[in-house]
């Protein structure tokens, strides 16, 4: 692994797609300060990390921490910004011998950080969680806390070609994406049959609309079920793509109907309006940032519970969101865009 030509800042990336997207303002602020950034990320997140501002190099995390630390030690990093709150993330930066290691004090890892910054108190949108870290580094806050991703023209063209290969219905009608997955757990998923009924309802209301079912590699079975239950008319697209390819696909949508998920945040950062379905997670923390989105949340007494499976077994926080309500929200967004 070749050494970097000059000292750089290492950003230890979060481990989830949505969390990495919501950290984009941090990358923008660090880049605006003149820093050249390297990113330590899980291999599956590398393609997304390369799209973030100021990133010169991505170091994929190896299976063994010793290999990862050795790779980082030869990178010429003068400082590290440890975004995850885990002990392991701070330990990697320390083991790599990076002299300055900024991170929040959590998980008994204070001695591994230099300096360890006190975690902020109170509830606020997650996109602003790193405000105190930037202040500790003497970095001015970003111009906006709304994540934004700009795709190269060639990458956008790849997304257009992928849609064409998926036999997306031709025409000038709006392109509607349905994302029925959520890798975090079943409790975050609006029922599969509801997504299928939504596809049918959108066909009835908006005959010119072109509906595609978006899936990641771990949600193919779910997307295929929606495809089958809705009449086998809407192509399944996305499970063979890396995150850059998925971004290129999402960028062409006019609206995405989605669970609280990584693709929800990715679409929002690309300027695509979303209908975001929330249940066991906190929409006050992780709603899609920016304008033009519709967040549907029942706000039950038992939510947000942050459980992967409904502990009360009824799952009403998401089952209580009706198909007509979701269709109204999607139709409203499309009408607003057309006007």
Q: Are residues 175 and 321 in the same domain?
A: yes
Residues ≥6 apart with Cβ < 8 Å to 191: 318, 319
- The overall average pLDDT reported for the chain is 92
Q: How many CB atoms lie within 10 A of CB 218?
A: 10
Residue 244 has pLDDT above 90, yes or no: yes
SS3 258: strand
Least confident of 30-44, 162-176, 288-302: 162-176
Task: Give the pLDDT confidence score for residue 2 in this predicted structure.
Answer: 43
Residues 109 and 186 in one domain: no
- Predicted confidence at residue 53, as pLDDT, reads 96
pLDDT, average across residues 133-159 = 96
What pLDDT shows up at residue 3?
Answer: 43
Q: How far is CA 95 from CA 7, 42, 112, in A?
A: 17, 18, 9
**Residue range 259-274: average pLDDT?**
97
Backbone torsion region of residue 185, taken as left when φ is above 0, otherwise alpha when ψ lies between -120 and 50, otherwise beta: left
In the chain, pLDDT over 70 holds for what percent of residues? Answer: 97
**Are 238 and 260 contacting, i.e. CB atoms less than 8 angstroms apart?**
no
List residues bridging with 117 in a β-sheet.
Answer: 104
Q: pLDDT at position 273, please? A: 98
Residue 75 pLDDT: 87
Query: Has residue 1 got a pLDDT over 50?
Result: no
Q: Domain check: are 167 and 294 in the same one?
A: yes
**Is 323 domain-assigned?**
yes
* 100-128 pLDDT per residue, tens: 999 999 889 999 999 999 998 888 999 99
- What token pair was written down for 310? 């409904």
Specify the pairing of strand 236-237 against strand 116-117. unpaired
Report how far apart, in Å, the C-alpha atoms of 305 and of each of 286, 315, 317 are. Answer: 14, 11, 10
Give the model's confidence band at 170: pLDDT under 50 very low, under 70 low, under 90 confident, else very high: low
13 and 106 in a common domain: yes
pLDDT-derived band at 7 (thresholds 50, 70, 90) equals low
CATH number of the domain within which 274 lies: 3.40.50.2000
Give the C-alpha separation, 158 to 160, whole Å.
5
For residues 320 and 215, membership in a common domain is answered with yes
Q: Which two tokens stand for residue 178?
A: 């349905």
**What whole-number distance in Å separates Cα of residue 25 and Cα of residue 29?**
6
* Number of domains into which the chain is organized: 2
The CA-atom distances, in angstroms, between 334 and each of 115, 173, 184, 328 are 48, 10, 29, 10
- pLDDT tens digits for 198-243? 999 999 999 999 999 999 988 899 999 999 999 999 999 999 999 9
Domain of residue 170: give its range: 156-338
Q: pLDDT value at position 4?
A: 43
**Do residues 222 and 92 both lie within one domain?**
no
- Pick from 84, 103, 137: which residue ends a domain? 137
Task: Please give the Cα distance from 224 to 65 (Å, whole number).
Answer: 37
Q: Does 98 share its domain with 179?
A: no
3-state secondary structure of 226: helix
Cβ–Cβ < 8 Å for 102, 81? yes
* CA-closest candidate to residue 280, choices 245, 255, 308, 254: 308
Collapse the DSSP code of 301 into the 3-class scheme (helix H, G, I; strand E, B; otherwise coil) and give the result: coil
Same domain, 38 and 80: yes
Whether pLDDT at 338 is above 90: no
**Whether residue 330 is found in the same domain as residue 204:** yes
Number of neighbouring beta carbons within 10 Å of residue 146: 17
Segment 169-183 mean pLDDT: 87
Residues in Cβ contact with 247 at an 8 Å cutoff, skipping those fewer than 6 apart: 48, 51, 149, 151, 155, 159, 266, 270
How many residues would you count in the chain?
339
- At 6 the pLDDT is 47
Model confidence at 155, pLDDT cuts 50, 70, 90, reads very high
């Amino acid at each position: 692994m070749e050494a970097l030509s000059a000292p750089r800042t290492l950003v230890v990336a979060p481990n989830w797609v949505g969390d990495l997207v919501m950290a984009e303002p941090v990358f923008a602020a660090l880049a605006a300060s003149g820093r050249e950034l390297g990113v330590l990320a899980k291999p599956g997140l590398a393609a997304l990390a390369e799209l973030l501002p100021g990133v010169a190099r991505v170091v994929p995390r190896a299976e063994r921490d010793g290999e990862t630390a050795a790779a980082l030690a030869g990178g010429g990093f003068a400082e590290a910004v440890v975004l995850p709150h885990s002990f392991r993330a701070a330990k990697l930066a320390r083991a790599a011998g990076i002299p300055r290691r900024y991170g929040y004090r959590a998980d008994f890892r204070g001695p591994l950080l230099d300096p360890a910054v006190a975690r902020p108190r109170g509830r606020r949108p997650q996109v602003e969680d790193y405000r105190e870290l930037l202040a500790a580094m003497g970095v001015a806050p970003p111009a906006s806390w709304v994540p934004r991703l700009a795709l190269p023209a060639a990458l956008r063209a790849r997304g257009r070609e992928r849609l064409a290969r998926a036999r997306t219905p031709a025409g000038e009608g709006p392109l509607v994406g349905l994302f029925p997955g959520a890798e975090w757990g079943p409790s975050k998923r609006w029922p599969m049959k509801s997504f299928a009924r939504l596809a049918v309802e959108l066909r009835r209301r908006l005959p010119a609309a072109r509906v595609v079912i978006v899936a990641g590699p771990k949600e193919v079975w779910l997307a295929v079920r929606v495809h089958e239950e809705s009449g086998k008319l809407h192509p399944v697209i996305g499970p063979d793509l890396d995150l850059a390819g998925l971004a290129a696909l999402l960028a062409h949508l006019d609206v995405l109907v989605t669970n609280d998920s990584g693709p929800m945040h990715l679409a929002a950062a690309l300027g695509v309006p979303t209908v975001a379905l929330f249940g066991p997670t906190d929409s006050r923390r992780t709603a899609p940032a920016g304008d033009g989105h519709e967040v549907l949340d029942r706000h039950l007494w038992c939510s947000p519970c942050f459980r992967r499976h409904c502990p009360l077994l009824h799952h009403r926080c998401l089952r209580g969101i009706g198909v007509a309500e979701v269709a109204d929200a999607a139709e409203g967004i499309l009408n607003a865009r057309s006007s």
